[in-house]
Amino acid sequence: MKKLLFLLLVISFTQSCKKEPQSKLLGSNPRGLITETAMVVSAREEASKIGVEILKKGGNAFDAMMATEMALAVVYPYAGNLGGGGFLVYRLADGTKGALDYREKAPMAAIKNMYLDEEGNIIKGKSTLGSMAIGVPGTVAGVFKAQERFGKLDVKSILKPVIELARNGFKVTEMQSERFAKNDSIFKVINGKEILFNKRLTQGDSVFNVALAATLKRLAENGKDEFYKGQTAKTLVEFIQAHGGIITLEDMANYESKWRDPISFQYDDLTITSMSPPSSGGIVLQQIMKMIEAFSLEDYGHNSLKAVQVLVEAEKRAYADRSYYLGDPDFVDIPTKALTSDVYLENRMADFSFEAATPADSIAHGKILGDESDETTHYSIVDQFGNAIAVTTTLNGGYGSKLYASELGFFLNNEMDDFSSKPGSPNSYGLIGAQANSIAPQKRMLSSMTPTIVEKDDEFFMTLGTPGGSTIITSVLQTILNVHEFKLTMQEAVNAPRFHHQWRPDEIRMETHAFDQTLIEQLKSKGYKLNFERTPVIGRVDGILRLEDGRLEGGADKRGDDTAVGF
Ligand code: DON
């Protein structure tokens, strides 16, 4: 009886605390996987399982990172990669935080107007398809650098199960077979022949990538230099050049991943640590969160009119700054301090009103005083030692440039499209850039990737991130707010419908069939233009939350085949 009374009290309490969501949540189970000590959440079950296998062997998050990232290259060639790049944000068990930049770089022969014709117009497809779209890959450099510094196991034993996975085959999922079929003809055009992944592969078929198994075996034996200076580098450069590309052996040998100071800031009682330039993720996230901190989001309610308005207006202003100020910090001075100062951000929201939308045309990048002396996949890991990592890695578009190095077993990125090919002209994500993100030899293209770790009371609280191009930052933002402000579980927070504004084009992108008609009408009456077609599915967030009792809850996005595994 007492138990029943307690249950009724809990139910009525949660019902009175939780505002009725204005939008529908995906999935029926409110909680994700719960484990005691360790977890890997990634885009594929096989990759999460291999990460956990490495943890069980006594490895830590950085060993599991190498295994998970390489396993994604095997089972999730859509975005998992050896031919792309990424960013890592970590928090060690002792609270030390840091970040690693393994973003691709423009080749040495790259020039500012390389994607423009004689009249100065963008040549369609040149920065997105085929050999000219490829940036010098950083992934192998990144995973080796992180593992070498922090890992505990030897590379051979980490890569062993991954090599076996590539050699023994993996099963094609339904979503995957749809994507292979959709890309079949473009693969043939770009490669001049059929590749390993084609429209005949249907759900349940096995794919055996023996070429990738051989590449991984050489990496296990010879280390990172195999990829950048060894036989793999030679084969890769010959392949790219045979397809008309400009990447040289010197480009490969010169590539280095870099440790960076991450962006850290407070939001209420949370400390949020995210990726610094050349990703725009951390700075833009900080700008938005600081602009919205003063508003009572919790009282407004999850995806309520007022909450959506506040977020959208802050997003517009932050993306306007992104477009003007942000680029590779090794090439441009980024006024980070000014852009993230409280006074500046308070001022940015000064013209905001709940009455009506602020038109994008009346918003420009903010003026700052004087000079001061950013298809992808994300995975999150928490190990049994208390280390947490957030890693986002990408080929940019799905299967990158679509150019597939058959002899080596992997796709090459089309990350060059993340540069601003021409000031004011949108890239594939509709993002507009300026001088700060123009092309130069050896420069890194601006990213939106936002691998993020959140602390509460100086303890690890959450690790998360997502793919989604320009929508990455706002998906991470909404997931943090869903947990912190709206008290959703990690799985609910990940499942909840998402929206996005990036200043230009002046429209709110909203997930299709996800929001209530009332909210839609209310937003329209305030002057907001809504777009349900451009990005019908926004992001695939994978995260891990520490619960009050110390256990871990995984949030594996139902929008994909994403899976949490742990113990
Ligand atoms: O670095 C960036 O911002 C983009 N290249 C990420 C691409 C991406 O997320 C594609 N996924 N949908």
Statement: residue 10 has pLDDT above 50: no
**Buried b or exposed e, range 272-295, using 16+ CB within 10 angstroms:** bbbbbbbbbbbbbbbbbbbbbeeb
For the CA of 280, the closest atom of ligand 1 is 3
Identify the weakest region by mean pLDDT among 10-19, 54-63, 91-100, 142-151: 10-19
For the CA of 470, the closest atom of ligand 1 is 3
CA atoms of 566 and 306, how far apart (whole Å): 38
Which of 274, 396, 534 gets mutated to test ligand 1 (max ligand atoms within 8 A of its CB)?
396
Position 20 confidence tier, pLDDT thresholds 50, 70, 90: very low
Statement: residue 14 has pLDDT above 50: no
Strands, E, within 39-183: which ranges? Answer: 39-42, 85-91, 97-102, 170-171
Average pLDDT, the chain: 94
Tokens 């233009």 — which residue? 529
Share of the chain above pLDDT 90, in %: 92
Report pLDDT for 28.
Answer: 59
**Does residue 447 have a known ligand-binding role?**
yes
Nearest CA to 419 among 404, 410, 429? 429
Average pLDDT of the residues in 48-55: 98
**Does residue 448 have a known ligand-binding role?**
yes
Statement: residue 395 has pLDDT above 50: yes
CA atoms of 497 and 513, how far apart (whole Å): 9
For the CA of 467, the closest atom of ligand 1 is 9
Report pLDDT for 513.
Answer: 93
Report pLDDT for 26.
Answer: 54
Statement: residue 215 has pLDDT above 60: yes
Statement: residue 3 has pLDDT above 80: no
**Does residue 103 have a known ligand-binding role?**
yes
Backbone angles phi, psi at 481, to 5 degrees: -65, -35
CB 54 within 8 Å of CB 153: yes
Residue 470 Cα to ligand 1 midpoint, Å, equals 7
pLDDT per residue over 424-462, tens digit each?
A: 899 999 999 989 999 999 999 999 999 999 999 999 999
Position 234 confidence tier, pLDDT thresholds 50, 70, 90: very high
CA atoms of 455 and 306, how far apart (whole Å): 27
CB 553 within 8 Å of CB 167: no
Q: Give the tokens for residue 471.
A: 């929508």
Residues with CB under 6 A from ligand 1: 374-376, 394, 396, 415, 418, 447-449, 467-469, 472
Share of the chain above pLDDT 70, in %: 94
Find the radius of gyration of the CA atoms of the chain: 23
For the CA of 374, the closest atom of ligand 1 is 3
Residue 117 Cα to ligand 1 midpoint, Å, equals 26
Residue 157 Cα to ligand 1 midpoint, Å, equals 31
Which CATH number is 40-169+208-262+368-566's, of 2.40.110.10, 3.40.225.10, 3.40.50.300, 3.60.20.40? 3.60.20.40
Hey, whose CA ends up nearest to atom 4 of ligand 1?
A: 469
CA atoms of 130 and 505, how far apart (whole Å): 27
Hey, whose CA ends up nearest to atom 5 of ligand 1?
A: 396
Catalytic residues: 376
Pairing of strands 508-510, 530-531: parallel
**Does residue 323 have a known ligand-binding role?**
no
Statement: residue 21 has pLDDT above 60: no
